[in-house]
Amino acid sequence: MMRKVLVFLALIGFAFALLPLAYRAGVADEPNALATAYLERAPAELATANVVTAIVVSYRGFDTLGEVAVLFAATAGVGALLTKKRLGSAGARAPRKEATEVLGTAARLLTSLLALFGVYIFTHGHLTPGGGFQGGVVIATAVLLNILARPQSHLAHGLMTAVESLSGAAYVALGLLGAFLAWGFLDPRALPLGELGKLVSAGAIPLIYSVVGLKVGAELSGILEALKGDRE
């Protein structure tokens, strides 16, 4: 009983601590000075219709670099823990059941469409809501569906590793390209901006989102393969 009371009091204290932040949050139709600056500058400076993309990829590009690094660390940690668990376990594994006809048919129809939709999301992130992380997650969803439908199959581990490594290297290279040819790390103006609203526009942003999407998709797919737990 005392434990529940302490937890309740802690939650009340936490709520009161956050209360001042609620008053400072403002309202959606009245952006603060920083948000106003982003809304006004992004279309003109970066030729991107999606202002969120301009903020995530360019203005706060170092944050995105940190998120990619965190995802890589999480992938490596999950792989290491599951490998250690498999090495320490004894006994034969139970045979995996084959997927039902409904699941198998759905997987054959939807896997390619999901992968294509993921590519669409990160190649159009500068025009519509979406981006590299969202597109990568959709690609990993296609991999998950394939794993459920074909539990005996295996991902091409070497290919996934190559895609992940090359995408990470390309991301850093695009960042350095902006530092040398434009005004800072991950500045998309290192490449021609093009015309606002067109697919080929926003400078290097479509390329940045593409390599992020491939890296996220490869890393999450690697986690799913590790969770399956039967790779030799």
- Residue 232 is predicted with a pLDDT of 46
Report how far apart, in Å, the C-alpha atoms of 4 and of each of 9, 16, 98 are: 9, 19, 46
Closest by CA to 117, choosing from 213, 50, 202, is 213
Closest by CA to 125, choosing from 52, 215, 42, is 52
- Split the chain (232 residues) into runs of 10 and give each run's mean pLDDT: 85 86 69 85 91 90 86 84 65 66 89 95 93 94 92 84 92 93 91 91 94 94 81 48
- Residue 206 is predicted with a pLDDT of 94
CB 131 within 8 A of CB 139: no
CB 131 within 8 A of CB 212: yes
- Residue 215 is predicted with a pLDDT of 94
Residue 153 in tokens: 């199959």
- Residue 133 is predicted with a pLDDT of 93
**What is the C-alpha separation between 178 and 59, in angstroms, rounded?**
12
CB 226 within 8 A of CB 79: yes
Query: What is the value of pTM for the model shown?
Result: 0.82
Report how far apart, in Å, the C-alpha atoms of 209 and of each of 19, 78, 201 are: 36, 25, 13
Closest by CA to 185, choosing from 70, 68, 59, is 59
- Residue 202 is predicted with a pLDDT of 93
